[in-house]
Amino acid sequence: MVNLKINNIDVTVPEGTTILEAARLANINIPTLCYLKDVNEIGACRMCLVEIKGARALQAACVYPVAEGLEVYTNSPKVREARKVTLELILSNHERKCLTCVRNQNCELQKLSEELGVTDIRFDGENPNYGVDDLSPSIVRDNNKCILCRRCVSVCKNVQTVGAIDVMERGFISHVGCTFEKSLNEVSCVNCGQCITACPVGALKEKEDIDRVWDAIADETKHVVVQTAPAVRVSLGEEFGMPIGTRVTGKMAAALKGLGFDLVCDTDTAADFTIMEEGTELLQRIQNGGKLPLITSCSPGWVKFCEHNFPEMLDNLSSAKSPHEMFGALIKSYYAEKNNLDPKDIVVVSVMPCTAKKYEVAREELAANGCPDVDISITTRELGKMIKQAGIDFVNLPDGKFDAPFETSTGAAVIFGATGGVMEAALRTVADILTGEDLENIEYHDVRGTNGIKTAEVEVAGKKIRLAVANGLGCARYLMEQIRDGKAQYEFVEIMGCPGGCVTGGGQSIVDAKTKMSVDVKAVRAKAIYDEDKSMAIRKSHKNPVVTKIYEEYLGEPCSHKAHDLLHTHYVARDKHYN
């Protein structure tokens, strides 16, 4: 432990702690812009400057380690003036169209300007005019709003190991870009959107599809069906000022009905179908000598990452479509036939925690009955905007319910939103099938938690099944290399593209860097997911009566010929660096 003084307050912290971390532990706020815990700690923006007794110059608190007897001042006249000048210089060549910016009132630069009392810009900087890169189906990049904090670059390169973007050029003409100034749509970007949630300003955002949804709802010739992913219910409330991880399942269903959708459904029901198909596929591969490990395919960012970086292992991926794509296929086949609807007159809208789903819905491999399984995918943030546009008082909204015939789901389906959830949900069903029993011990805690990689071995009916779970593409890369090189062997592997899984997907509510220093967002939202699982009457996918009925009436059995036509897909090997 190290003893120091911050603003004449005695503070004791572990050795290796930075001044920034020590100050936060002492409830002293030091402003930051480039800093993002565990992602970007480089001292580049100079907003966190502090004065150290005996030091000649001000120091960046985010990278300066504490030392015994250190005396730090975070609020001296010298510090305040340095921060204000730094902020004004950043603002001098920033596109200050705040009222029309996607991050208005949720912008770290805007908030700092208020906190530091910047009421006028003393410096008139040159404003280079960058073209907006909006060719990607998922992400819009606007360098006119970029402050060169490098948080997006760090998360893309160091956390996700994709490296689609980097800082180009030097000096005043430095900017974030792709190789050879190409669009994100032309390089190996996997559309995960982690760059968006890392950005402190509005330089990165999802490609918005709100107007397309409103147009579909207003079109009387269309039957508009909406579905919501499990992770959305533990983030949507944050768009309305509710605490992180608040479960708003009932309010969400009621709000969607208030928006005018013809059918409001839960993607969780489709997640139960995914378990039936993927679990059966796993059993068939184990019993028939198929290619192992079986690797999950629910995360479109992960699937595209695999296509770029491990094309030789695409046969290991489950051929099962992701839950919302399965749902779309069933809506445009089973539901359409039951209700005498032409699939071409049905518009399926997915509300997802994920920006990569926008890319996924456009994949030509994901189309049944000659039309896309899902027509439009919007993020949690976009749904929040729609609810606000409609004037719905979300916080005080009475709980509603999802519509029949897809109103029933299980606890196994809801945990899809957290890393390890798909694995656990599959094990609940596979264990019952292998033992022929209705097992009571259904919680597999070894695959829970937010560690980047988790491994376990379970024995079911005398069979040992080796498991691995990875979340975040950097961890996925490491695990895949271990498997590819023969250094690790598993029967079943779950991979989610985003750190923490879908609960912290690229389309979820944005949490600022200051909050992330003290709140483990992925753990808080995951806890809410598991709490909902515990509250469910049915907690195993194969026990879902809706799922059982549709197999009996329509699909036959899991992995049947008809199920394969509707609920399975294939993948495409891609260039390592280009789309």
Catalytic residues: 278, 281, 298, 318, 357, 360, 365, 502
Q: What tokens appear for 456 in the block? A: 């376990």
CA distance 1 to 348: 57
Q: Angle at Cα 231 formed by Cα 520 and Cα 513, nearest 5°?
A: 30
Cite the DSSP H helix spans in 289-370.
Answer: 300-309, 323-330, 336-338, 356-360
CA distance 231 to 66: 39
- Taken in order 173, 178, 179, 180, the sign of the CA dihedral is negative
What contacts 516, CB < 8 A, 6 or more positions away? 36, 37
CA distance 84 to 42: 20
Q: Provide Rg for the chain, Cα atoms.
A: 25
Cite the DSSP H helix spans in 331-416.
Answer: 336-338, 356-360, 380-389, 411-414
Nearest CA to 248 out of 150, 387, 87, 346 is that of 387
CA distance 444 to 482: 24
Could you give the C-alpha distances from 266 to 210, 216, 263, 403, 566, in angstroms and in order? Answer: 19, 19, 10, 9, 19
Taking phi over 0 as left and psi of -120 to 50 as alpha, with beta for the rest, 260 belongs to: left
